[in-house]
């Protein structure tokens, strides 16, 4: 049985309770069925408020173009609102190659290291 897609988020708060940084973690298989399950939540978590967002793809086993389209749309909406998205890849070589082949690495920052992702998102 193939692993399905999942999404969860974790907010880092300022002392006054406002959101300093949002971490959105995707996992599993981001194909047609997978994106049906998570696309709306991805948009609501990343494209509504002008926040620094780390999109963590370290546990994504399969990223189809339908998933890339959803990421582009969210990153673009976030950018228009004044937020910023950074993609965290770890050592996920297939997802890295997929994003690089489509040129997305030139328009959304991609990093391997979690600390670097935080620094870049908050820069």
Partner 1 sequence: MAPPQPDAPTLSIQPSPQELRRCSEWLTDHCQKEAVPPGPTGKLDLCLNEVLANLIDHGGAADFTCPVDLTLELADCGDRGLATLTIVDAGPAFDPLGASRGPLPRSLQEAEPGGLGLLLVNRFMDERSYQRAGDRNVLKLGIYFSKDP
Site of interaction with partner 1 (CB under 8 A): 2, 29, 31-33, 36, 62-66, 68-69, 72-73, 75-76, 79, 93-94, 97-98, 101-104, 106-108
State which residue, 19 or 32, has the beta carbon closest to partner 1: 32
Which residues are CB-contacts of 38 (< 8 A; sequence separation ≥ 6)? 5, 6, 7, 26, 30
Q: At closest approach, how far in Å is the CB of 53 from partner 1? A: 13
CA atoms of 115 and 50, how far apart (whole Å) = 21
3-class DSSP state for residue 10?
strand
Question: Least distance (Å) from partner 1 to the CB of residue 13?
Answer: 27
């Amino acid at each position: 049985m193939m692993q399905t897609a999942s999404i969860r988020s974790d907010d880092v708060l300022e002392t006054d309770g406002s959101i300093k940084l949002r971490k959105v973690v995707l996992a599993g298989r981001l194909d047609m069925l997978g994106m049906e399950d998570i696309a709306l939540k991805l948009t609501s978590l990343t494209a509504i408020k002008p926040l620094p967002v780390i999109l963590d793809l370290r546990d994504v086993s399969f990223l189809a173009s339908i998933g890339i389209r959803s990421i582009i749309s969210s990153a673009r909406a976030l950018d228009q609102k004044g937020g910023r998205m950074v993609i965290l890849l770890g050592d996920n070589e297939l997802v890295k190659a997929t994003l690089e082949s489509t040129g997305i690495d030139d328009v959304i920052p991609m990093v391997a290291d979690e600390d670097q992702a935080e620094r870049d998102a908050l820069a």
